[in-house]
Amino acid sequence: MPLKPPPPPPTPAARRRANRILALLKKRYPDIGTALDYQDPWQLLVVTVMSAQTTDENVNRISPVLFARFPTPADLAAANPEEVEQIIFSSGFYRQKTKSIIALSKDLEERFGGVVPDRLEELVTLRGVGRKTASVVLAEAFAAPAIAVDTHVRRVAGRLDLTAHKDPVKIEADLKALYPRKAWSGISMRFIQFGRDICEARRPRCPECELNRICQWPFKRV
């Protein structure tokens, strides 16, 4: 079967528009990083896994207790799951999260000498670590060029016509094609915060949105 030709690169006008959007978001959020508390890349991996389906504030309440009891990947790798479950119970989905954070710590110990790798291809080989979590860790802990696509990034990028896709991997590819590599690590957190503050899922605050004139979303409120 003949290979599908790669999609054409974005036009200069599309790139300019995308950069204008990012510039406005940078104005709103000049300095932004994850709201999750962490001391090192391994802790960020763990708290990012724990943050699924709960708030960052909730994780920040739990994680100091977890890391005081299990200060290193080796400690968590050898942990009794029941004890971990008790500590992280209030984060929700605590059984699955316990499995994931113990498994990823074991993998780190066994295959990477307890050191978090700084390459996407290696990070996603850790059990419980998907592309989104890996990209968060790369962008935040290593300031490496990476774009994590979560539900907010997907919604905001779609409404702003930066992608026509729903699949996170394709959205990531579209954003990476639109923006220069050096901008990648500053995209996700700004899109996420903007999605939380303004471009909310159910009731976007279009009248107070600085992107209103750029946004062509047919359902936007003026």
> Given the rule CB under 6 A, which residues bind ligand SF4?
159-160, 198-199, 204-206, 209, 211-212, 215, 217, 220
State which residue, 45 or 189, has the beta carbon closest to ligand SF4.
189
- Kindly give the interhelix angle for 81-88 and 94-112, rounded to the nearest 10 degrees: 130
Is 150 a catalytic site residue? Answer: yes
The Cα 23–Cα 30 span in angstroms is 9
The Cα 172–Cα 149 span in angstroms is 6
Give the DSSP letter of residue 160. T
Is 4 a catalytic site residue? Answer: no
State which residue, 13 or 222, has the beta carbon closest to ligand SF4.
222
Catalytic residue among 132, 167, 176, 182: 132
Q: How far is the CB of 189 from ligand SF4 (least distance, A)?
A: 17
Q: How far is the CB of 151 from ligand SF4 (least distance, A)?
A: 14
State which residue, 121 or 208, has the beta carbon closest to ligand SF4.
208
Is the Cβ–Cβ distance between 182 and 169 less than 8 Å? no
Cα dihedral 64, 66, 72, 74 in deg (nearest 10): 180
Residue 13: Cβ within 10 Å count: 8
| φ, ψ for residue 8, nearest 5 deg | -65, 150
State which residue, 45 or 215, has the beta carbon closest to ligand SF4.
215
Q: How far is the CB of 207 from ligand SF4 (least distance, A)?
A: 8
Catalytic residue among 4, 40, 106, 150: 150
Q: How far is the CB of 131 from ligand SF4 (least distance, A)?
A: 25
The pair of three-digit structure tokens given for residue 137, joined into one six-digit string: 């860790």
What residues are labeled active site? Answer: 132, 150
